[in-house]
Amino acid sequence: MELFTQERTIRRPVKGRGRGLHTGARVSFSLYPAPAGTGVVFVRTDLGGAKIAARLENTRPAQYATVLASGEASVSTVEHLLSAAAG
């Protein structure tokens, strides 16, 4: 059963920066429009471009955050960005 039948993407690239919620580390991000069927994919440029698709099978156990991982690369507390993008 498919949950979403209509795909959407952002109109133009968006960039931002700040501090990591749990680590306090300086972070930056860029969002780019994607072709149909791509889904949400996080790319860790600090780890050589490791890609992590926002898919159920990439979730990992965590406390107080949503963690996605692929191989050794992971992204944490992604639920805020994903919910904002869905809205």
pLDDT for the residue 4: 55
pLDDT for the residue 20: 86
pLDDT tens for residues 15-74? 999 998 888 999 999 999 998 889 899 999 999 999 999 999 999 998 888 999 999 999
Cα 8 from Cα 13, distance rounded (Å): 14
The two tokens of residue 85 are 């993008």
pLDDT tens for residues 2-14? 565 577 888 899 9
C-alpha torsion sign, points 21, 82, 65, 47:
negative
Residue 33: which H helix or E strand, with range? Answer: none
